[in-house]
């Protein structure tokens, strides 16, 4: 009986290890991460294990690192009451951005989606149901993306949808290959902080500090519009970045993609 129990435990542990490897390591599934910028130095993805496939599929992590340019990107999975304020600030400061929207957001907030497009911002794809796309077939991935594009086109008249942010930053070679073949450039980021937890907001000053200390040439900044802190800090972030000599650009203006040393 003791042998049987011992083997049962061993088999259970083996099954767990194999599952974990299949889900995260051996199958080449990654959750985007990076070595943060410190003191204006470039961030890096050299230590994360996925640089080759990011480069292979032309995904964006950085812009032109020889120029003091910044790219504002927002994830819009659901509305928490702050996107209109964010749009007000962008309009006041004359700054372009891209908003990555889900199917839920498009259905729930059609007027805000229309406003994004009407005010000159890009509306990007964040998938229909926010799944782990590394677990989907090619047909399922295409369906997730096509439904968002169709709904945004119906709302805004925007025919092109060129940019995708994989939900939760989870991806593999399959996800990048299928989405690229569907006409998308995957957009990751080089500036981010834990801003998505609506129960752990620490004030606009904290948001300002977290973003400004990571600024670097060619930065792709990820912010979540559910964050009260981001909405409160955005104007000051833009002004300080401009004071430091940075220029905000649209992703459509990105000419050179570099991945650091």
pLDDT in tens, 32-88: 999 999 988 999 999 999 999 999 999 999 999 999 999 999 999 999 999 999 999
pLDDT of 23: 38
pLDDT by residue (tens digit) across 85-116? 999 999 999 999 999 999 999 999 999 999 99
| Confidence check: pLDDT of 20 > 70 | no
Cβ proximity of 98 and 122 under 8 Å: yes
Distance CA 212, CA 236 (A): 10
164 is a domain residue: yes
Q: Which domain holds residue 41?
A: 32-253
| Confidence check: pLDDT of 4 > 50 | no
Q: What are phi and psi of 71, to 5 degrees?
A: -130, 115
pLDDT of 159: 86
In this structure, are 81 and 151 located in the same domain?
yes
In this structure, are 27 and 39 located in the same domain?
no
pLDDT by residue (tens digit) across 181-219? 999 999 999 999 999 999 999 999 999 999 999 999 999
Distance CA 86, CA 228 (A): 10
pLDDT by residue (tens digit) across 122-179? 999 999 999 999 999 999 999 999 999 999 999 999 889 999 999 999 999 999 999 9
**Residue in 57, 75, 195, 216 annotated catalytic:** 75
256 pLDDT tier (thresholds 50, 70, 90)? low
**Average pLDDT of the residues in 8-33:** 50
Answer with the residue of higher pLDDT: 251 or 27: 251
In this structure, are 8 and 123 located in the same domain?
no
| Confidence check: pLDDT of 7 > 50 | no
pTM above 0.85, yes or no: yes
DSSP state of 147: H
Distances (CA, A) of 8 to 5, 19, 21, 63, 254: 5, 16, 20, 52, 56
Answer with the residue of higher pLDDT: 68 or 26: 68
pLDDT of 108: 98
pLDDT of 40: 87
236 is a domain residue: yes
**Residue in 121, 174, 216, 224 annotated catalytic:** 224
In this structure, are 26 and 103 located in the same domain?
no
259 is a domain residue: no
Please say if 75 is a catalytic residue: yes
Q: Give the count of domains, the chain.
A: 2
258 is a domain residue: no
């Amino acid at each position: 009986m003791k042998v049987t129990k011992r083997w049962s435990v061993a088999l259970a542990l083996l099954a767990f290890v194999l599952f974990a490897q299949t889900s995260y390591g051996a199958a080449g599934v990654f959750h985007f991460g990076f070595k943060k910028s410190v003191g204006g130095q470039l961030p890096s993805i050299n230590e994360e294990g996925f640089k080759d496939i990011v480069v292979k599929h032309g995904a964006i992590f950085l812009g032109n690192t020889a120029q003091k340019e910044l790219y504002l990107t927002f994830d819009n999975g659901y509305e928490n009451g702050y996107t209109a304020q964010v749009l007000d600030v962008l309009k006041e400061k004359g700054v372009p951005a891209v908003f990555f929207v889900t199917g839920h957001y498009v259905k729930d907030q059609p007027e805000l989606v229309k406003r994004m497009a009407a005010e000159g911002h890009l509306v990007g794809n964040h998938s229909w149901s926010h799944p782990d796309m590394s677990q989907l077939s090619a047909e399922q991935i295409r369906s997730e993306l096509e439904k968002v594009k169709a709904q945004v086109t119906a709302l805004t008249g925007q025919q092109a949808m060129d940019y995708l942010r994989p939900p939760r930053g989870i991806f593999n070679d399959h996800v990048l290959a299928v989405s690229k073949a569907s006409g998308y450039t995957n957009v990751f980021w080089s500036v981010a902080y834990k801003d998505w937890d609506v129960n752990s907001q620490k004030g606009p000053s904290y948001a300002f500090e977290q973003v400004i200390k990571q600024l670097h040439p060619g930065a792709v900044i990820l912010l979540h519009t559910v964050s009260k802190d981001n909405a409160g800090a955005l104007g000051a972030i833009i002004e300080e970045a401009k004071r430091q000599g940075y220029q905000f650009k649209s992703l459509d203006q990105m000419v050179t993609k570099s991945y650091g040393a």
